[in-house]
């Protein structure tokens, strides 16, 4: 079970609190599962989709290394991804499916062994441009209520939307899932989140 935090978050911020941590608690319920929490630093480049692609490559390699360490080559995989971290998972699985099994069996096996994915607040807009515009608006709202670099992320998201990069990722992922019978669970907000500018829906469920 692999936890992936959002691009402006961290393992501690996303999956835990001072009194509780999902990755630490899960072994009690699933004692035979290996729990991995992938922690990474999001380096914002001038092209948002290229930034996501670079992180997807890192995720693939880090996951391969972790599985090599314990010779866990054939264990099934479940991803749990938050927010834009879900885009990293989508991109990584697309890369895995396109990897030639005869040349990179370690990479191609990732999609073959992925049994399920839980998305928390991850944009699922696919080719729907209007839904993606709502995602960009949500990020812009986050920029107002946060000291993090959401404003620049919103600008780069807009650029990626103009050149179809974001929509292409989600549309390609739909095909990957259908061809591999991967089980998907998607969770989205039903109630506004309190911020310093009042309560608001951070990510609309239409996204």
> What pLDDT sits at residue 83?
80
> What pLDDT sits at residue 60?
96
Domain boundaries of the chain, sorted by first residue:
2-200
Decide which of 1.10.3470, 3.40.50, 1.10.287, 1.20.120 is the CATH code for 2-200. Answer: 3.40.50
3-state secondary structure at position 198: strand
CB proximity list for 133: less than 8 A, separation 6 or greater: 161
Find how far residue 112's CA is from the centre of its chain. 18
**Structure tokens of 7?**
């691009």
Cβ-contact 119, 37 below 8 angstroms: no
Instruction: List 185's β-bridge partners, or say none.
Output: 118
Could you count the other beta carbons within 10 Å of the beta carbon of residue 18? Answer: 6
Give dist(CA 87, CA 117) in Å, integer: 12
Q: What does pLDDT average to in each consecutive run of 10 residues of the chain (207 residues)?
A: 86 83 90 92 66 89 92 92 89 92 88 94 61 53 47 51 61 85 86 64 56
Strands 2-4 and 114-120: unpaired
For the chain, the distance separating the N- and C-terminal CA atoms, rounded to the nearest angstrom, is 25
pTM of the model: 0.79
DSSP character at residue 196: B
Give dist(CA 78, CA 35) in Å, integer: 10
Tally of residues, the chain: 207
């Amino acid at each position: 079970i692999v936890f992936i935090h959002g691009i402006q978050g961290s393992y501690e911020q996303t999956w835990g609190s001072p009194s509780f941590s999902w990755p630490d608690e899960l072994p009690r319920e699933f004692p035979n599962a290996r729990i991995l929490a992938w922690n990474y630093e999001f380096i914002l480049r001038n092209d948002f989709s290229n930034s996501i692609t670079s992180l997807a490559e890192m995720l693939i390699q880090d996951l391969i290394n972790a599985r090599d360490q314990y010779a866990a080559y054939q264990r099934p995989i479940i991803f749990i991804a938050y927010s834009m971290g879900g885009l990293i998972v989508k991109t990584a699985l697309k890369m895995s499916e396109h990897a030639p099994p005869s040349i990179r069996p370690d990479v191609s096996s990732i999609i073959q062994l992925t049994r399920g994915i839980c998305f928390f607040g991850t944009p699922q807009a696919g080719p729907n441009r209007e839904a993606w515009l709502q995602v960009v608006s949500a990020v812009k709202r986050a920029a107002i209520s946060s000291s993090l670099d959401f404003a620049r992320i919103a600008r780069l998201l807009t650029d990626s939307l103009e050149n179809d990069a974001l929509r292409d990722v989600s549309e390609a992922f739909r095909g990957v899932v259908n061809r591999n019978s991967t089980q998907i669970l998607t969770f989205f907000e039903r109630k506004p989140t309190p911020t310093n500018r009042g309560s608001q829906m951070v990510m609309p469920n239409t996204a």
